[in-house]
Structure 1
Amino acid sequence: MKRISIQAKLEEIIETLEKGALVSAHDFLEVGNYEAVKRALVRLCEEGKLKRVLRGLYQTPNYNAFLKKDIGTSPKKVAEKLAEKFGWTIAPAEDTALNELGLSTQVPAKYTFISDGPTKKYTLDNGIAIYFKHKANKEISKLTMKEASVIEAIQTISPEHMNDQIRKKLLNTLSEQEMQHLLEQGKSMRYWIYDEIKTMKDEREYL
């Protein structure tokens, strides 16, 4: 029986994945050892069957017939893939959080995430930079990504610039359960952030 190469096995698997999926050697360790898989991924990239996003991370074909071109992946998906690979808990921060929550329509000049992993910067092959800023696990591990994003948005806006319009937009992103959970967890946060959460909770009761 003819032995199937590692590259051929990877091609078979990749064909079953959704368009634009992100993959790395760590996703295929059941196929072969790390170095062999890594070399096979590089060859697939050279053959145009994968697109390199950054060193060690690749995207499956994502051709858009209407635009007649391949669509690149979003920085958020790259950040989530890196977090999955390294076992980090992350959430959008700073301008990235504002954009994610609809508080800003500007595309962030840089994509920033809080993380219980190390402070680190990645530059994608398209030049976009992704920053991970270390934050103690206890500060984010009990929050969902959306809840942590709301806290980061409040912190980015600052007390002086918070207003009813912003509070209403943030409230619209949260369910009643998420709002209650933030209220419970907020006691360990900065006092003014907790005060903002309480104000948002009070405003929801009058809506």
Structure 2
Amino acid sequence: MESIESKIKKSISRKKRGELLFPDDFRGQGSSEAVRLALHRLEKEGYVQRVAQGIYVRPKISKYAGEVLPTAEEIAKAIAKRDKIRLVPTGAYALSALGLSTQVPMKLVFLTDGAPREIKLGKRSIKLKKTTPKNLSAKGGISRLVIQALREIGKDRLTEEEEAKIMALLKKEDQKNLLHDMELAPVWVQKIMEKSLDIG
């Protein structure tokens, strides 16, 4: 009789290195308690690493850096996929994602339609804040970040340099998405975003 641990190990060995592993992925292998214990033992053995509560990984191996753990961004995406929730980067993280700030925030804050919570990842953390569906219905990858970044900067505090960067980014956005997302933004943000439209 094969142990749950060896079944899970076999199943992990078929996955790509760097892919995040959740206890739920092994639901068919045994009770949730047995799966948790098996993952805990595999971690002790050094086969997988725990990156946050209930999230494991078999790190990718780089010949220069050794083991490469997933980034906080990758972990947030994996959680969103697992829980079938939407996430929108906000605050300092939105500024950093757009290249408007060179500081990498230690705390990544996302708006979500899932349960609010904070996930600790060593020194960094991911905070999920519950929000209204309207704040999550933006379609454009760039325009939804711009709305959050402008909210973080604040009304009348945008520098010319920041505005120029935002315009250049918005020009890359699909116009249909941009027009859709502008409707969701506060009026003062809409006015800034309108400047990037090719009207004429």
TM-score, normalised via structure 1 length: 0.84
Q: Does 1:7 align with 2:5?
A: yes
Q: Does 1:98 align with 2:95?
A: yes
Aligned to 1:201, the other structure's residue is in SS state coil
1:151 to 144, 147, 150: 147
Identity %: 28
CA shift digits 1:15-66 (9 cap, x unpaired): 2222222111111223333222222111111110010111111111222221
Any gaps of 5 or more consecutive residues in structure 2?
Answer: none
Any gaps of 5 or more consecutive residues in structure 1?
Answer: none
Amino acid at match of 1:24: F
How far the C-alpha of 1:96 sits from its partner, in A, is: 0.7
Count of aligned residue pairs for this structure pair: 200
Q: Are the aligned partners of 2:138 and 2:184 in contact in 1 as well (CA < 8 Å)?
A: no
Structure-1 residue corresponding to 2:108:
111
Q: 1:160 & 1:75 partners in 2: Cα distance?
A: 31
Compared CA separation, residues 18 and 175, structure 1 to 2 (3 A): farther
2:85 to 88, 96, 104: 88
TM-score, normalised via structure 2 length: 0.87
Structure-1 residue corresponding to 2:39:
41
Amino acid at match of 1:4: E
How far the C-alpha of 1:147 sits from its partner, in A, is: 3.4
Compared CA separation, residues 44 and 154, structure 1 to 2 (3 A): same
Q: Are the aligned partners of 2:92 and 2:105 in contact in 1 as well (CA < 8 Å)?
A: yes
Q: For the aligned residues, what is the CA RMSD?
A: 2.3
